[in-house]
Copies of this chain bind each other. A is one copy, B any other.
Amino acid sequence: MHFKLTLSYDGSAYHGWQVQPDRATIQGTLSAAIHHLTGETVLPQGSGRTDAGVHALAQVTTFSLATNIPAENLLRALNRALPPSIRVLSAEHVPTTLHARYSALRKTYEYRIFTGRICPPFLAPYAWDCPWPLTLEPMQIAATHLLGSHNFTSFAASDPDLSTRTTPTTNNLEPTTLNTRTLFTSQITLENNLIHYRVTGSGFLHHMVRNIVGTLVEIGRGALPADSIPSILAARNRSAAGPTAPPQGLFLVSVDYPELHLYETQNCSPTQNS
């Protein structure tokens, strides 16, 4: 039986999504809970990795079990077995062709920046307590310059792990094309003392949201002009953009998939076509 679970987690105490030896991770903790319940060893696939300290309001994971268990029972049993920092919000049986990562159409992230004088202790694990006064309007203008399809190499982590973090495509594409993503939403809003940056895209390179936020903050504090995004994108060089914003402000908000009936009638999963 193939399952799709929607998870919410507080990433504060975890070394990110991906399983690691001798370290608490979301994937590893979920895998252990599934093993505890069913005796089966599976590695649940996520819609993407989240880094250490990054949170999820609705991460999606898929995996197959030999055990015949109603989805609702799996949800209840996992929520008893998992720590309170990880919750299964929903569980459903889905066609085996639905893959949490390869089938994802769009992902939405939100980043929260605290701009008040004293950051409440209860907010500190869930926002960047930004040390500079920020002017909103240039950040809002700059955010719109990221909309549409661009090569986001300047905003991608320059780490050696980069290639495995990007959404895989066919191998004969140029690296420049590999790093092209489309942003459908890229919006800065202010609520009380919190700046929210919300971004929806076809996919995201490793550290891309945090590097965008780090750059928008440079713009908001006046260290970069509001119109600097086009030239940063054109540079295709990590050093052209701002620093990486800290992880605790980042939330994976949602992941969109094709309607399930499309899977059943048309086998439209991308993995079927490659």
Interface of A is mostly: mixed
B85 touches A124 (CB 8 A): yes
B79 touches A121 (CB 8 A): no
Q: Which of B79, B120, B126, B129 contacts A122 (CB 8 A)?
A: B126
Judge whether A55 and B118 touch: CB under 8 Å: no
Q: CB distance A8 to B55 under 8 Å? A: no
Q: Are A10 and B124 in contact, CB atoms less than 8 angstroms apart?
A: yes
Task: Quickly give the copy total for this chain.
Answer: 2
Q: With an 8 A cutoff between CB atoms, is A84 at the interface? A: yes
A86–B120 Cα distance when bound, in Å, is 8
| Interface 0/1 of A1-40, CB less than 8 Å to B | 0000000111000000000000000000000000000000
Interface residue tally of chain A, by bracket? Answer: 20 to 34
Hey, which chain B residues are within 8 Å of A87, CB to CB? 118-121
User: Is the pair A79, B118 in contact by a Cβ cutoff of 8 Å?
Assistant: yes
Q: Are A8 and B84 in contact (CB under 8 A)?
A: no
Please determine whether A122 and B84 come into contact, CB atoms closer than 8 angstroms: no
CA distance in complex: A55, B122 (Å): 9
Q: Is A89 an interface residue (CB 8 A)?
A: yes
Chain B neighbourhood of A89, CB < 8 A: 118
How far, in Å, is A113 (CB) from chain B's closest CB?
14
- Bound together, the chains give a CA A86 to CA B119 distance in angstroms of 10
Residues of A that sit less than 8 Å from B by CB: 8-10, 55, 79, 84-89, 118-122, 124-126, 129
